[in-house]
């Protein structure tokens, strides 16, 4: 009995040991196969953990009464106090509206513009002229937001600005654009188009090169006009690029670049020009309401995440094109 028991025990022990041994072997092999790659990836990993993921955990301050001197751990828990605070703040609706409208205007006018430019460039026969237009139109993309904002403000200045000089030359009164709340969104969207229209044609021009020339020939033989070819050959050929860009743009509607809005705005036009990110900077960071600012930011971040997820979901259903 005892012997039988011991062999049974040994068998059990061995059986139990086998996976451990294999596991350890696997771990060692995994380590040997990957140590150099992991080592190379390490700085990158540290970067993402420190500068991208640590701030996400730092969002815990939105449930605390964060105080610079007491630090994250010692600050008191306050639950949803700050969320209630901004949801009850009448300015919050205005900020949401400003952010949303600015993003939507930018999407509605800024999204089709480069497609139109790319289609026009595609029709150009002279290569030198095409190159020249492309090179020139990419240029503003590399100019800093500070310079672009400076140019906008100076050109629109009521005293000697380029645009107002033209207006007065035509016999009208000069307009003080930058203190007129009704004009901010138009100015912002136009400056965005001016800055990025050329650069954003690149993706469409790349897609256009992949359209089979035989399709154009076939369409010509069938007697299709230029417009019909554009509609039935060119556009379907680049529809993939259009849909992907559209999803990305819809998803990032609320992620309006902070820099340019911040540089263009002034207190006189806050009623249209103040958006969530500039408010978070001013009220959250500059005035030291860290928890309050961060909770608004998080709230918008989650809405933005829902946006991109929905845009992707709808696109997958409707056109079978999606980001993931």
Partner 1 sequence: MRTPRFSLFHAGSAVVLLFVVVVTLYPFLHMLAVSLSGDIYVMKNEVTIWPKGLNFKMYEIVLGDSKMWTAFNNTLLYTSLGTLIAIIITSMGAYALSRKHMAFRKQLTMMIVFTMFFSGGMIPTFLVVRSLGFVDTLWGMVLPGAVSTWNLILMRTFFAGIPKELEESGRMDGLNDIGIFFRIFVPLSKASFATIALFYAVGLWNNFIFPLLYLRSPDLFPLQVLLRNLVLAGSVSSGEVTRIGGDNQIVEESLKYATIMVSSLPILIVYPFIQKYFVKGAMIGAVKG
Scan residues 191-230 and list those touching partner 1 (CB under 8 A). 194, 197-199, 202-203, 206-207, 217, 220, 226
Subset of residues 104 to 123 that bind partner 1, contact rule: CB under 8 A: 117, 120-121, 123
Question: Is residue 103 at the binding interface for partner 1, with CB under 8 A as the rule?
Answer: no
User: To 5 degrees, how large is the angle CA 56–CA 101–CA 286?
Assistant: 45
Please choose, out of 8-16, 17-25, 101-109, 149-157, the segment that lies near partner 1 by the rule CB under 8 A.
149-157
Given a contact cutoff of 8 angstroms between Cβ atoms, the answer to whether 99 and 256 are in contact is yes
Q: Of the candidates 1, 88, 128, 159, which one interacts with partner 1 according to CB under 8 A?
A: 159
Cα 208 from chain centroid (whole Å): 24
Q: Of the candidates 185, 192, 251, 261, which one interacts with partner 1 according to CB under 8 A?
A: 251
CA–CA separation, 286 vs 288, rounded Å?
Answer: 5
Query: Closer to partner 1 at the Cβ: 3 or 159?
Result: 159
What's the sign of the alpha-carbon dihedral 309, 95, 61, 281? positive
Query: Closer to partner 1 at the Cβ: 240 or 318?
Result: 240
Question: Is residue 160 at the binding interface for partner 1, with CB under 8 A as the rule?
Answer: yes
User: To 5 degrees, how large is the angle CA 207–CA 210–CA 213?
Assistant: 130
Subset of residues 20 to 49 that bind partner 1, contact rule: CB under 8 A: 30, 33-34, 36-41, 43-45, 47-48
Q: How far is the CB of 230 from partner 1 (least distance, A)?
A: 10
Q: How far is the CB of 236 from partner 1 (least distance, A)?
A: 17
- Of 309, 312, 299, which Cα lies nearest the Cα of 99? 299
Given a contact cutoff of 8 angstroms between Cβ atoms, the answer to whether 216 and 104 are in contact is no
CA–CA separation, 258 vs 278, rounded Å?
Answer: 6
Q: Render 173-231 in DSSP notation, one character per residue.
A: PP--GGG-GGGHHHHHHHHHHHHHHHHHHHHHHHHHHTS-HHHHHHHHHTT--HHHHII
Q: Which residues contact 232 (CB under 8 A, 6 or more apart)?
A: 219, 224
Subset of residues 252 to 311 that bind partner 1, contact rule: CB under 8 A: 258-259, 262-263, 266, 268, 277, 280-281, 284-285, 290, 293-294, 297-298, 301, 304-305, 308
Subset of residues 39 to 98 that bind partner 1, contact rule: CB under 8 A: 39-41, 43-45, 47-48, 50-59, 61, 72
Please choose, out of 5-13, 80-88, 101-109, 139-147, the segment that lies near partner 1 by the rule CB under 8 A.
139-147
Q: 109 burial class (0-12, 13-18, 19+ CB within 10 angstroms)?
A: middle
Question: Is residue 313 at the binding interface for partner 1, with CB under 8 A as the rule?
Answer: no
Query: Closer to partner 1 at the Cβ: 25 or 33?
Result: 33
């Amino acid at each position: 009995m005892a012997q039988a028991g011991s062999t049974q025990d040994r068998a059990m022990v061995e059986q139990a040991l086998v996976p451990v041994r294999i596991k350890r072997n696997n771990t060692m092999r995994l380590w040997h196969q990957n140590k150099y790659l992991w080592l190379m990836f390490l700085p990158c990993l540290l970067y993402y953990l420190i500068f991208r993921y640590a701030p996400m955990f730092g969002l815990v301050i939105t449930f605390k009464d964060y105080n610079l001197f007491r630090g994250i751990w010692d600050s008191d828990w306050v639950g949803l106090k700050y969320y209630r605070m901004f949801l009850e703040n009448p300015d919050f609706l205005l900020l949401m509206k400003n952010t949303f409208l600015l993003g939507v205007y930018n999407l509605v006018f800024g999204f089709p513009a480069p497609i139109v430019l790319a289609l026009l460039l595609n029709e150009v026969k002279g290569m030198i002229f095409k190159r020249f237009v492309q090179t020139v139109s990419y240029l503003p993309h590399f100019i800093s937001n500070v310079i672009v904002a400076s140019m906008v403000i100076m050109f629109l200045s009521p005293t000697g600005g380029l645009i107002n000089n033209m207006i007065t030359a035509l016999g009208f009164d000069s307009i003080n654009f930058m203190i007129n709340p009704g004009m901010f969104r138009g100015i912002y969207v136009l400056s965005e188009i001016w800055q990025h229209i050329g650069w954003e044609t690149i993706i469409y021009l790349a897609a256009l090169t992949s359209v089979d020339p035989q399709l154009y020939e076939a369409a010509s033989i069938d007697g299709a006009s230029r417009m019909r070819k554009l509609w039935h050959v060119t556009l379907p050929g680049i529809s993939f690029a259009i849909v992907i860009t559209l999803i990305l743009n819809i998803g990032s509607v609320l992620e309006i670049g902070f820099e340019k809005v911040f540089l263009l705005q002034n207190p006189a036009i806050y009623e249209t020009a103040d958006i969530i990110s500039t408010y978070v900077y001013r009220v959250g960071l500059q005035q030291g309401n860290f928890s309050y600012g961060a909770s608004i930011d998080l709230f918008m971040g989650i809405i933005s995440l829902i946006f991109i997820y929905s845009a992707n979901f709808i696109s997958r259903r409707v056109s079978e094109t999606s980001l993931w």
